[in-house]
Structure 1
């Protein structure tokens, strides 16, 4: 039986998770996520599918984060009619997250088209609409953790708690008679693996003794302090008290799912204990408001949410804003408030307005608490950029930029190694995905000596295919179809500085240089020189 695995995303990068598994005449997708980061990667979201959506038999979803689920409505709009299978927690989150994503696509394209119209450029269409997302929800089916179910004849699957967010799962597949010895071939797709001592969900679980393992490597080469809940809250209290003492607002870009709820639970506990003052906390994200309600329904449920207090998300000082007007009212608050807003990477949503309003204030603090994909505004702030562009405006960065790794939803380097040891043996092959090039290389180097219980280690590229029905995975040569990213564009995008980033940085530098010149004559000489260089460049 022919078995082929193709990596259509999360290969050499952390986003766009999408793996296509062809088993005989059946085809499955594990995840169908959106690319995030710089414009070169995000352009893949608009491109045509590298496969025929109508020929997919089933979609299995590891969890609800948009980089794992965000292109499902595009898939169904293109003709996919089969089931979208997930845990109950993931299904509940998707009922809010996918329509919200569709709404963002519509608003972003509407704003961009207004700019394009002024510039005489053609209009764009959204990747999908809010209605497309609602339509896709009708195809969702739920399954329980650790219970086998049939995906297609001869293909069984079961979900394991991945410890990442509510509903997150690793997916085990058993392919009947695939090996010719009467034993099923066992594959495991890790999804995103959570760390130990996470604030709201229990530690990850998964089976051992596998044939093929597809494993995330997000934090390969990076370790974090191992803190218990009391220590974690003490670190947070130190950052909050320092930010409030500076006199300005504390702005926290946070993912609407899990990260916002973790922060609320810890902040409310610290306020109740008197460790930090009872200041206004604004949760300015309609999606985060809806997701918090989902988390409340799953409190202390099987496979649900663990909490430090009976009502971890509700307190008199917490204000959930829903309307644009309520969000705009926050701008009147010049200091002494905590503003939690999405997106967590600062590249979309209401957080950009709060950054525009606070980044230039020396008494304000921006606390970065999650992963920042290369090329995003959050990554630029984390790298120490002193001037950034937000929605076309140049903003001076005078605020205190702080970083906390203790709320990461991903296992770090050491925890990934521990998780992998518990999965051994892996007899046929290990694929390292969902990590930047350096992270995957670091993890690969750490496990290269595990030869006795770990077979071939592969770090795939986007759109590469591998045969799995031999003793080792074998890469299949390209079939002649054009790559969605050529090697140069892929290297630039995965490094986090494609030409779009270089262009924005160049424009900022030119503006700064012009402003610093002594007179208009010098400015005109520089602009004429730049103009001659542009005109001389090959088209």
Structure 2
């Protein structure tokens, strides 16, 4: 029995871990690397294993850095079975098709650029195409149900538990048996926390021998949620009052829906004092919001009660869904009084960059970051205090008011991660993944564990 770390090793993105047991090869996640161009280019590198040799892929959740290389895996020969929850299947379809469209668009742009530079012999292909993404959906098989064990093969069982991170997210327990040896291995996936606006809290983890644990926020504690909500309302009131716009770079899944939920609460309670036009300018976020409506089984009691009463937890006066490019472009004529939510959350692509171009220089406007920003991303440079940033090749002064509101994170913070780990029953070995190295080291010093390891890329261990 072995485990090999083929992604998110001393890094935050590209989750991909391989278990080998009893002649079976099981992959946990297969995500894209995100961040700087150098990091992104790693996506085209070999996986570190033969895709055709993988029997099962267990998907913890549908964020791009966990599912985004599945179409590439299939393109390079994967013929196994992908297992995930029903909600994650719907969201992964959306995410992978969107990613494929962006890959094709980028390839066309680079091809035109090469032609302008008289490098017309250069044939630039996308990492994978929309057709590749559609083909990959054919390999999604059995749907996992929280708490229900799934027999993958002789001696191998998988059980999905609610992770409370995004809709359909899961921690995954593998019970492995080979040559009379039994191991219980738990993959945390990305963890949320209790008291969220929409989703259930994470399930209590089972007691295990080995934990593979995310550490995105392993070195810090979030602001409390309620003060964060009040801070958001305050920024909106102040910005609209001085005639500016509020730009919220938004992750399409969970963050967009959660912010809509709080905006609705603020408008109905009149804590937001001005009438505002709210633009959800993200086709993917709009589709994700519709998927949320189809999966109330993932809601907590409060959100479920609203749903059962026939109320839309995400709808309110002044909300506009803008799918078409022309609608998105028209928003840039709005000089004030708007809250504009657009992707991507780390500002690495998508429509938010256009809205930043039209507002980042404006002292009346505000940019509000409500999620994690990886090293090398445009969002991180702005958060870290850059005086100017380059957007579409143009150097842009950063003069808008910049706010980082950490309480909206869909990730558990250090305190919550420590508490979750403590419930796993003093595992023999804990592997830390999916975090920056300083975060991992900080977290390793905090937990009570016999053996804590921080694997490097493609490093293998015997279980």
Instruction: Give the TM bin, normalised by the shorter chain.
Output: over 0.9
2:137 is matched with 137
Q: Which protein has the larger Cα radius of gyration, Structure 1 or Structure 2?
A: 1
Give the Å deviation of 1:306.
5.3
* Conservation of the 8 A alpha-carbon contact between 2:207 and 2:425: yes
Q: Deviations over 1:2-60 (max 9, x none)?
A: x1111111111110000011113211100000000112211111122321110100100
1:280 is matched with 277
For structure 2, the residue ranges without an aligned partner over 5 or more in a row are: none
Task: Give the Cα–Cα distance (whole angstroms) in 2 for the partners of residues 131 and 305 of structure 1.
Answer: 39
CA 1:406 to 1:302, structure 2 compared with 1: closer, same or farther past 3 Å?
Answer: closer
* Conservation of the 8 A alpha-carbon contact between 2:210 and 2:427: yes
Q: Deviations over 1:169-209 (max 9, x none)?
A: 000000124553xxx31000000010231221111114332
Map 1:367-516 to 2 at 5 A: 367-427=368-428, 429-447=429-447, 450=448, 454-468=449-463
Q: Deviations over 1:362-394 (max 9, x none)?
A: 111110110001000000000110111112121
1:250 is matched with 246
Give the Å deviation of 1:220.
1.2
- Name the structure, 1 or 2, with higher relative contact order (CA <8 Å, separation 6+): 2
Map 1:513-524 to 2 at 5 A: none
Give the Å deviation of 1:232.
4.3
Q: Deviations over 1:399-457 (max 9, x none)?
A: 11111001101111111111111112202x1101101010000001112xx3xxx3211
* Conservation of the 8 A alpha-carbon contact between 1:202 and 1:306: no
Give the Å deviation of 1:278.
2.6
2:96 is matched with 98
After the TM superposition, which parts of structure 1 deviate over 6 Å for at least 4 consecutive aligned residues? none
2:165 is matched with 164
Map 1:287-366 to 2 at 5 A: 287-299=284-296, 301=297, 307=303, 309=306, 310-366=311-367
Task: Give the Cα–Cα distance (whole angstroms) in 2 for the partners of residues 38 and 336 of structure 1.
Answer: 33
Is 1:14–2:51 an aligned residue pair?
A: no
For structure 1, the residue ranges without an aligned partner over 5 or more in a row are: 469-539
Map 1:159-308 to 2 at 5 A: 159-177=160-178, 179-180=180-181, 184-228=182-226, 231-276=227-272, 277-299=274-296, 301=297, 307=303
CA 1:65 to 1:198, structure 2 compared with 1: closer, same or farther past 3 Å?
Answer: same
Task: Give the Cα–Cα distance (whole angstroms) in 2 for the partners of residues 234 and 413 of structure 1.
Answer: 23
Give the Å deviation of 1:225.
2.7
1:45 is matched with 43
CA 1:187 to 1:375, structure 2 compared with 1: closer, same or farther past 3 Å?
Answer: same
- TM-score, normalized by length of structure 2? 0.95
Q: Deviations over 1:105-143 (max 9, x none)?
A: 111222222223223443421111111111111211311
* Conservation of the 8 A alpha-carbon contact between 2:228 and 2:406: no
Task: Give the Cα–Cα distance (whole angstroms) in 2 for the partners of residues 398 and 233 of structure 1.
Answer: 24
* Conservation of the 8 A alpha-carbon contact between 2:184 and 2:209: yes
Q: Deviations over 1:441-485 (max 9, x none)?
A: 0001112xx3xxx321100111111111xxxxxxxxxxxxxxxxx
Q: Deviations over 1:65-118 (max 9, x none)?
A: 000000000111111111110011101111211111110111122222222322
Give the Å deviation of 1:226.
3.0
